[in-house]
Structure 1
Amino acid sequence: MGQGSSEIGALLRGARSAKRLTQAQVGVACGYSASAVSRIEAGKLGLDYASLMRFLAFLGIPLDHLRASALSDMVNVATVVRGCRSDEEEAVRRRELLTGVVAAGAAAVVGAGPASAATEPADLEVSLFRLPQAAPVSLPRLVGQIAAARRDYCATEYTRLGQALPGLIATAEATRDALSGQVRDEAQLALARSYVLAAELATKQHSDAAWVAADRALSAARSSGIPVAVGEASRQLAIAMRRSGRSTAAVYLLTREAADLDPSHDQTGAVRTTLLLTGAYSAATGKDRSTALSLLEEAEQEADRRPALPGLFTVEATRTQVDAYRISVLNALGTPDEAVKVAATLDVSHMPTAERRARAWTDVARMWNALGDGQQTFAALRQVEQEAPQEVRRPALRALTAGLLYGPARVEGVREFAVRTGALAS
C-alpha cells in the first residue's frame, strides 16, 4: 500500500480513538470486520472512494481534512467523482450518501430502538460473558427451544433470535449441568447448537463475538462425543478464522475435521460436504485456486452420491448448495466472469430456507457488482429483500447498496431501496 493509505489509516484511527469507538463498532457501521478495520488503520488495506466516504461520514471527518495526495492510491477516483455527473449533481449525491451512512452508523453503535438494539454485536458480546440466570428444563423442551431458534435463523428473523439467544444459552448450560450420563451428552449437543446459532448471528453482524461463540460450541460438541456436532461447530470456528484473515488455518481445520467424518453415513457424510464447501470458499479467500476448486469438486461428488439432505442444522448438503458455493468461490478468486454460467442455471427456489436463498442471491449480486453491472446487481439485491428483509439490512449488504447509490452509473430505484433498507436516511 502507498503513502496515501497510511495517511488515511492514521486519520481514521485518530478519529475513532477520539470518539472512543472500537474497531468492531466502526466495522459494523461501514461493512467491514474488526480485523479489516485494523488493517485499514495500519495502512495495509486500501479503500475505494465509496468505502472511504462511509468511513469519513461515520467518524465525522470532513473530506477537506484529506490531502489530495492521500487519494492517489485509489483506483479510478477521477472517474467515480466526475466521470458521469455534473459537479452539482455529484455534490447532492455525496450529501445523500454521507447523511445515510451517518444515520446507519449511529444506529449500529447506539441502537435505533428496541428492535435493532436486540441484535447489536456489542450486546451479543456482552451477553456471552454475562449470561442471565436460568433454571434447567427438560431435555425435550430444550431441544424444542433450540429448534425454534434455528427456525428463526433460517427464516432470517435475526431480531427475535438475538433477543432469545442469551436466555437460550443460559438455559442450555443450566440443563447440561443438571444432567449426567448419556442425557448429559445430548444436552451438550443442544448447548453446542445454541452456541452455533450465536456464532452464525455474530458472523452476520460482523462481530468478533463469533470467535467466542464458535470456540464454546466446539468445546461443548467435543464433550458430547457426537461427530455431527463437532463438524457443525468446527465449521463456525473456521469461518471466524477465515474472516480474521487466517484462511490457510481455516482450510486446515476444515479438511482435518472432514477427514474424521464417515462419508458412508448420510448425516456425517452431509456434514462432511458442508465442511468441504466452507473449506473451498476459505481457500478461495486466500487466493488458493487449486485447493479451492479441488475441495469444491470433492464436495460436488459427495453431494451427488447421496440423496439431498436439507435437514442439517443451518446449511444443507445439496447440489444446489454446491452451485451457490461455486459462485462465491469464483467471486473470491477474482474470476466472477466464470460464475455467470453457474448463476444462469442456479435454481434458488430449490433451497429450503430463506437464509440460504438470500445468501445465494447475495453471491449473485456480488458477482454482477464485480463485473460492473449495476442493473443486475440491483435486481439480485431486490431478490435478497424479497426472500429476507432483515438480511438485506446487514452491514455488508448496506455497503453494497451504498456502493450502487454512489457508483459511476445511475440505477433507477436504488435510492428508494437504500432508504427502505437502512443504507440511506429517509
Structure 2
Amino acid sequence: MRRRELLAGIVGTTAALIPSPATAAPRTGPVGDDPTAALERALYAPEPSGPVPAAVLDRALTSARNEFTAARYGRLGQALPALLGAAEAGRAAAGAARERAHAAIARAYILATELAVKQHSDMAWAAADRALAAARAGGSPVVIGEAARVLAITMRRSGRPAAAVDLLRRTAADLTGQSGAAPRAVGATLLLTAAYTAACDRHRTDALDLMSGAEDAIRRIPGGAPASPLFTVDATATQRDLYWIGVHNALGTPDEAVPYAARLTPASMPTAERRARLGTDAARMWHQLGDHRRTFAALRLVEQAAPEEVRRPALRALTADLLYSPSPVPGLREFARRTGAATV
C-alpha cells in the first residue's frame, strides 16, 4: 500500500492511485532534512512493485520531473523510491514496450542522480551508472545523452573532469549529427556541460571552444527547440548565457561573466530550479568580485525562487563564508539562521 500511495503522490491522476489531499500534502521539516535519505535506501533495497501501466508511469515521471524543475526536492526524494520500484518492474516487457520501460527506468535514475548531486551525495555514482545502463538497454539516443550528462556531472564532482569531458564530447558528436530537434538539443546541452566541466579543470581554451560549439549547436536545432522540453535542462540561448556565467566563475574570470548576468533576469528563466541557478551563479560571481552586498542579494533571489535550493550544502557554505567576512551585511545573519548556514 505504501508503494501505491507514494506513486500516487507524484502521478496526480488515475483514481485508484490518487490519495486524499491530506495524504498528498508535501512534507515539511527542519532545514537539516536530507531529501535523499529515502532514496538511498531504495537504491540498495528497492521497493517491491507489480507492473504499472505505461501511461501511468509516464505521467508519474512527468510529475517527478516537475518536482525537480520546481525545486521541490523533499517531495521528489519521497516520491522517487516508489517511482524507481515501479519503473524497474517493467524490465520484463518485450519489444517496443521493453524499450519504453528501459527509457522510464533511465529517466527515473536520471532524476535520482540530479537529486543526489544537489545534495553532494556519493550515491550519485550508483544512480548515474544505472541510468546510463538502462538508457543503453533501451536504445534511445536522446535518453542515452541525458543519462551520459548526469554521469559526467558525477565524474566531474568526483575528481575526474578530463574523463567527463571526453564522455560528453563523444556522446554529443553522436547526437548533434542526427536529424531532429531533440537529439541535437541534447547534444547541445552535453557541450554546455562539457564546457563547464573543462572550466572547472581550469582548461580555458577547451572551455571556450566547447562553449562556441554549444552555441553553434543551439543555432542549428531545427525549429529552434524540440517539441517537448528536455528532461532537466533545455538547450536555448538563455541557458547558453547562464552557462557562460558558470564557465567564467570556474575559470576565475568573474568580470567576464558580468555582461551575461546583466542580460538575464529571473523572469527569463523557465523554471524555479533554473531561476535558482541564476541566483547561485550570480552570487558566486559577485563573491569572487568582492561585492558582498550583491552576493547577498543574489542569495536572496535563490531563496525567493526556490527555498530548498538555498539550503543545499554548497549554498550554505557560501552563506557561511559571507557571514564571517570582515564586512557585515544587514540581514545576513538572520538569513544564515533561516537557511541552516548558522545556528546562533
Unaligned runs of 5+ in 2: 1-27
1:132-143 equivalences under 5 Å are 132-143=47-58
1:216 aligns with 2:130: yes
1:305-344 equivalences under 5 Å are 305-306=220-221, 307-309=224-226, 311-344=229-262
1:144 aligns with 2:62: no
Q: Residue 161 of structure 1 is aligned with which of 68, 71, 76?
A: 76
**d(CA) in 2 for partners of 1:115, 1:362:** 18
The alpha-carbon deviation at position 167 of structure 1 amounts to 1.0
The alpha-carbon deviation at position 162 of structure 1 amounts to 0.4
The alpha-carbon deviation at position 169 of structure 1 amounts to 0.3
Q: Do 1:326 and 1:339's aligned partners in 2 also have CA atoms closer than 8 Å? A: yes
The alpha-carbon deviation at position 120 of structure 1 amounts to 3.8
The alpha-carbon deviation at position 404 of structure 1 amounts to 1.1
Residue 304 of structure 1 corresponds to which residue in structure 2? Answer: 219
**d(CA) in 1 for partners of 2:336, 2:36:** 20
The alpha-carbon deviation at position 263 of structure 1 amounts to 4.7
1:15-414 equivalences under 5 Å are 117=33, 119-120=35-36, 123-177=38-92, 179-261=93-175, 262-306=177-221, 307-309=224-226, 311-414=229-332
**d(CA) in 2 for partners of 1:373, 1:113:** 33
Q: Which segments of structure 1 move beyond 4 Å, counting only runs of 4 or more?
A: 112-118
Tell me the number of residue pairs that the alignment of Structure 1 and Structure 2 aligns: 313
The alpha-carbon deviation at position 344 of structure 1 amounts to 1.0
**d(CA) in 2 for partners of 1:216, 1:210:** 10
**d(CA) in 1 for partners of 2:162, 2:31:** 37
**d(CA) in 1 for partners of 2:173, 2:160:** 20
**d(CA) in 1 for partners of 2:263, 2:98:** 46
**d(CA) in 2 for partners of 1:116, 1:161:** 16
Q: Do 1:199 and 1:214's aligned partners in 2 also have CA atoms closer than 8 Å? A: yes
Greater relative CO, 1 or 2 (CA 8 Å, sep 6+) = 1
The alpha-carbon deviation at position 264 of structure 1 amounts to 3.6
Q: Do 2:31 and 2:340's aligned partners in 1 also have CA atoms closer than 8 Å? A: no
Amino acid at match of 2:304: Q
The alpha-carbon deviation at position 346 of structure 1 amounts to 1.8
Identity rate, percent: 57
The alpha-carbon deviation at position 125 of structure 1 amounts to 2.8
**d(CA) in 2 for partners of 1:392, 1:244:** 22
Q: Do 1:354 and 1:387's aligned partners in 2 also have CA atoms closer than 8 Å? A: yes
The alpha-carbon deviation at position 357 of structure 1 amounts to 1.3
Larger Rg, first or second structure (1 or 2): 1
Amino acid at match of 2:50: A
The alpha-carbon deviation at position 116 of structure 1 amounts to 5.2
